[in-house]
Chain A
């Protein structure tokens, strides 16, 4: 019974598992660094003096979350997780455009 990643590896002609301990530890450390970066990014959401500051900080946080989801896909070795990152990027784009129009023109559309 081949596992999912084995099927992918046969399909792509590559090895698919992260073999070495070094790469696993490095990816986990980088994921930890990305999660820690969320805290100073949310500082600008709380004390940002004007409204576009807060909006751009929320946009930055969603960008960091897309990177975190991609790193989770690397750790779990399941490529389907990347599609969640695509969906999050799409919704963040729509939300940012809408709020930017609202705070500059007073209406959404």
Chain B
């Protein structure tokens, strides 16, 4: 009975942190602050749920330990990858725009640069250049 009470308490703590993370993702003003809110869900919220489940059904404890170690390793990496993508996109928008570069329409910029389209176009340019070089080498094999 004590184990069940402890388990239900841990589950309630986990659901509380999940709810806090979702509210933060909705109400935070900026992309990076939203990432700060959603990064809490994977560690605090899910670890409360895992602890409560391990107390309620002890046969799942080993698999829950494996899942917890995996989440502990991968969740900060994923959040860091998204934050790095935000940073790089902002950098590209600043290079294209000059000073007030942002790709977030809510931040009050006069216009928003479509960074994804720019990246796709530059990638397409690289591919076309490589194709042209290949064709030149095929047509004039002695020129180089």
Per the 8 Å Cβ criterion, residues 45-101 of B in contact with A are 45-46, 49-50, 52-53, 56-60, 63-64, 66-67, 70-71, 74-75, 77-79, 81-82, 84-86, 88-89
A14 touches B58 (CB 8 A): yes
The complex places the Cα of A103 from the Cα of B70 at a distance, in Å, of 25
Per the 8 Å Cβ criterion, residues 1-48 of A in contact with B are 5, 8-9, 11-12, 14, 16, 18-20, 22-23, 26-27, 30, 33-34, 37, 40-41, 43-44
A52 touches B77 (CB 8 A): no
- When distances are taken between beta carbons in the complex, the residues of chain A under 8 Å from B89 are 50-52, 103-104
- When distances are taken between beta carbons in the complex, the residues of chain A under 8 Å from B106 are 49
- When distances are taken between beta carbons in the complex, the residues of chain A under 8 Å from B7 are 23
Q: Nearest Cβ in chain B — how far from A107, in angstroms?
A: 6
The complex places the Cα of A19 from the Cα of B2 at a distance, in Å, of 12
Per the 8 Å Cβ criterion, residues 80-109 of A in contact with B are 82-83, 85-86, 89-90, 92-93, 96-97, 100-101, 103-107
- When distances are taken between beta carbons in the complex, the residues of chain B under 8 Å from A101 are 81, 85
Closest to A95 in B: B78
Question: For chain A, which range describes its interface: under 10, 10 to 19, 20 to 34, or 35 or more residues?
Answer: 35 or more
- When distances are taken between beta carbons in the complex, the residues of chain B under 8 Å from A77 are 57, 59
- When distances are taken between beta carbons in the complex, the residues of chain B under 8 Å from A70 are 46, 49-50, 53, 64, 67
B116 touches A73 (CB 8 A): no
The total number of A-B Cβ pairs within 8 Å is: 182
Contacts A26-B12, A79-B59 known; 14 new A-B pairs at CB < 8 A: A16-B58, A16-B59, A34-B15, A34-B18, A50-B31, A52-B85, A63-B38, A74-B53, A74-B57, A77-B59, A82-B64, A96-B81, A96-B82, A104-B119
CB within 8 Å of A: which residues of B?
1, 4, 7-8, 11-12, 14-15, 18-19, 21-23, 25-26, 31, 34-35, 38, 41-42, 45-46, 49-50, 52-53, 56-60, 63-64, 66-67, 70-71, 74-75, 77-79, 81-82, 84-86, 88-89, 103-106, 115-116, 119-120, 122-123
| 25 CB-based A-B contacts, threshold 8 Å | A8-B59, A14-B58, A18-B57, A20-B4, A26-B8, A34-B18, A41-B22, A49-B104, A52-B35, A56-B34, A59-B79, A63-B41, A64-B22, A66-B71, A67-B14, A67-B46, A70-B50, A70-B53, A71-B49, A93-B75, A96-B82, A97-B78, A100-B82, A103-B89, A104-B119
